[in-house]
């Protein structure tokens, strides 16, 4: 069906979500290269790396021992999936306040349909300011950048 009004769909995705969660859970990790992964014998792989770790060439799928070799001062964090789920719920609760239509896609990613929002919303702000407000609120309250 054709509409005279364009759709406004917002995609929200947590930035290196598991690694960002680790920093949110432990502020002393802020600004440090952090990657999440590892196995029982130290032979696991990286499942997430923050931007600081990526600057050293650390990437998803890399062996953890190689990551430690290229960045000996970096931090290997063991996955804390229960905490990641908790932070994800907090993030989605905030997103639900911004739109009546939210479609979750993964633990850290969703689509917000802003099309049906009343014109009164757009009288007071622009879509860019609306998005920036959402991003800032998630980062402030959850500790995870999006």
**Predicted TM-score (pTM) of this structure:** 0.89
Spell out where the chain has E strands. 9-13, 34-37, 46-49, 75-77, 101-106, 109-113
Q: Supply the range of the domain harboring residue 28.
A: 17-77
How many domains would you assign to the chain? 2
pLDDT score, position 53:
99
Query: Does residue 2 lie in a domain region?
Result: no
Residue 3 lies in a domain: no
Catalytic residue among 90, 96, 109, 141, which?
109
What digits encode the pLDDT tens for the residues 47-86?
999 999 999 999 999 999 999 999 999 999 999 999 999 9
> Does 83 qualify as catalytic in the annotation?
no
């Amino acid at each position: 069906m054709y509409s005279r009004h364009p759709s406004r769909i917002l995609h929200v995705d947590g930035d290196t979500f598991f690694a960002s969660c680790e920093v949110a859970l432990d502020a002393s990790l802020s600004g440090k290269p952090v990657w999440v992964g590892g196995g029982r014998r130290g032979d696991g792989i990286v499942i997430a790396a923050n931007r600081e770790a990526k600057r050293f060439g650390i990437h998803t799928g890399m062996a953890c021992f190689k990551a430690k070799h290229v960045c000996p001062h970096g931090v290997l964090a063991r996955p804390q999936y229960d905490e990641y789920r908790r932070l994800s719920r907090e993030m989605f609760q905030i997103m639900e306040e911004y739109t009546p239509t939210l479609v979750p896609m993964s633990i850290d990613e969703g689509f917000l349909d802003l099309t049906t929002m009343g014109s009164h919303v757009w009288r007071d702000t622009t879509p860019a300011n609306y998005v920036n407000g959402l991003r800032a609120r998630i980062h402030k309250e959850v500790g995870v950048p999006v």
